[in-house]
Amino acid sequence: MALTLVIGNKSYSSWSMRPWMLLEGFGIPFAEVVIPLYVDGSKEEILRYTPSGKVPTLIDGATTIWDSLSICEYVAETFPQHAIWPVDKAARALARSMSAEMHSSFQALRQQCGMVVHRPKGPVDFTADTLADIARIEAMWADAREKHGHGGPFLFGAFSVADAMYAPVVCRFDVYQPKLSTATHAYMDAMKATPAWKKWMAGAASETWRIPRFEPQP
């Protein structure tokens, strides 16, 4: 089986990071195609791979899957030998709920704290809505860890889709440095210690592309 994952710039593409972290985290082989975003020809290049015109996209032979959460579900079905979702039914239900909420929510955090891996670290003047998003995420992480995290350092003990879905949030928290609990920092440290995280960050550091609209303004 030859999987190809089409992604955008590692410095900016939070949606691309999610399925990439999942595949890398479980040691599933795949070919990587990186398409620089917001440059001349990038839209046309993406359309060569997917009718959605967006990244990420996973290609498995004649099958094309777009949308990060759909890709994660496809990977879970394709590789049942891996516990890509938590095995326990209650834990799996919570992990799916958390992943879906990440997929559809937290617009204030996304807009104020865009993922820019190379941005100088430091807080901004967080809006009330952004702080509410941060508090909600911390509460969910703490709940998952308390109920199901006793078998390891990740949200549900072992690494799962939920961790991959929240990886860009870990990046945002690391870059923008809001006030966070000790437990949140411990979970972030576990994520940042994974080989997959380090490999993504090394790839981002090697990129020379810059998207001016996402860079911090002087």
Please write the tens of the pLDDT for every residue from 54-99.
Answer: 999 999 999 999 999 999 999 999 999 999 999 999 999 999 999 9
159 residue type, one letter = F
pTM of the model: 0.96
pLDDT at res. 83: 97
pLDDT at res. 212: 87
% of the chain surpassing 70 pLDDT: 99
Please write the tens of the pLDDT for every residue from 56-65.
Answer: 999 999 999 9
pLDDT at res. 218: 63
In the structure, what pLDDT confidence band is assigned to residue 1 with cuts at 50, 70 and 90? low
For 3-82, give the CATH class.
alpha beta
Q: Note whether 60 and 33 are within 8 A (CB).
A: no
Mean pLDDT of the 95-111 span: 97
Instruction: Mention every residue, 6+ apart, whose C-beta is less than 8 A from residue 10.
Output: 16, 17, 34, 117, 200, 201, 203, 204, 207
Please write the tens of the pLDDT for every residue from 113-148.
Answer: 999 999 999 999 999 999 999 999 999 999 999 999
Look at the domain 89-199 and name its fold: Glutathione S-transferase Yfyf (Class Pi); Chain A, domain 2 (1.20.1050)
**Mean pLDDT value across the chain:** 96
Domain extents in the chain: 3-82, 89-199
Mean pLDDT of the 150-161 span: 97
Alpha-carbon distances, residue 168 vs 28, 91, 191, 200, 203 (angstroms): 20, 22, 11, 11, 15
